Amino acid sequence: MMLALGVSGYGGEEGLGYMASMFHLFTHAMFKALLFLGAGSIIHAVHSNLMQDMGGLRKYLPITHITFLIACLTISGVPPFSGFFSKDEILVAALHHNKLLFAVEFIVAGLTAFYMFRLYFNVFWGKDRHYHHTPHESPLTMTIPLMFLAFASIFSGFIPFHSLVTSDKMHFATEMNFAVAIPSVLIGLLGIAMAWILYKKESVAPEKLSKSFGILYTATYNKFYFDEIYLFVTKKIIFNYISRPVAWFDRHIVDGFMVGIGTVTEKVSYRIKGMQSGQLQHYAFMFVAGALALALVMILM
């Protein structure tokens, strides 16, 4: 969606990216919500959110299984599901604007299909796990929204979005770009096929494949160590050498100064409170003494 906005201008064909991003936002609302709710249904059934604790759930959760499969097919851009139509518009917009970005998006389309079906096969196929209790389908309060979102994921792509939301309120005259659509579907199917081979049944192939990539796999698995770098920069550098001195200055200098003002004010007030005695003769004496002092000053000057 953000890439589509980035390759969009204003009006006419230049506004294709804007329309595509809004279209994908619309369809994405359906199938991504379906994925999250499906994940919740799975976690509700097995009381765990770790994928290694799951497997063979298709026979226990038939509705969740079918609706989750629909969501995976949709996000993978398989026709005629809605994700195919909105993702196709994004790819076309990228192709018209920047060939490099189109190539990146094209590869990402295959990766998306692969990792989503890796999830699908591991959870619903794979090896049957030993569950402490027999998993069961979620109640109607969860399965009815699952079915509604699955229906929306299938058919929302047929809405003529190009005529409803555009950057300049002018309708697009769009048509299927088969030079983009066919390769994007094929790379999505390739990703699904790879996930089928590696994860439909439990095998040692994924482990062997990951080891063959060596340090690249290790770095990718650890998210290129960005978490460790972030913690080092924040805790070791920013917290120790910036935040800690600032906190000391705030606590001892700023707070100390304000506390000092309050303490001095309190002590001076205690010392001079006798001047407000409430005795009339005392006030008269101070008035006369003050007037005489002012008179002497004026005479001397």
In the predicted model, what is the mean pLDDT of the chain? 90
In a domain, residue 223? The reply is no
Q: 149-190 pLDDT, tens per residue?
A: 999 999 999 998 888 887 777 777 667 788 999 999 999 999
Tokens 């994007």 identify what position? 184
Residues 6+ apart with CB under 8 A from 159: 26
**pLDDT tier, 14 (very low <50, low <70, confident <90, very high otherwise):** low
Tens digits of residue pLDDT in 281-300:
888 888 899 999 999 999 99
Q: How many domains does the chain have?
A: 2
Q: Which of 149, 183, 213 is the last residue of a domain?
A: 213
pLDDT in tens, 237-285: 999 999 999 999 999 999 999 999 999 999 998 888 777 777 888 888 8
Residue 236 and residue 119 in one domain: no
Q: Residue 255 is encoded by which pair of tokens?
A: 């707070």
Question: Which residue range forms the structural domain that includes residue 59?
Answer: 2-213
Which stretches within the chain are classed as H helix?
2-6, 16-46, 62-75, 82-97, 99-124, 140-155, 178-199, 205-212, 215-221, 226-231, 244-248, 255-272, 280-300
Q: Is residue 17 part of a domain?
A: yes
End of a domain among 178, 213, 248? 213
pLDDT band for position 9 (50/70/90)?
A: low
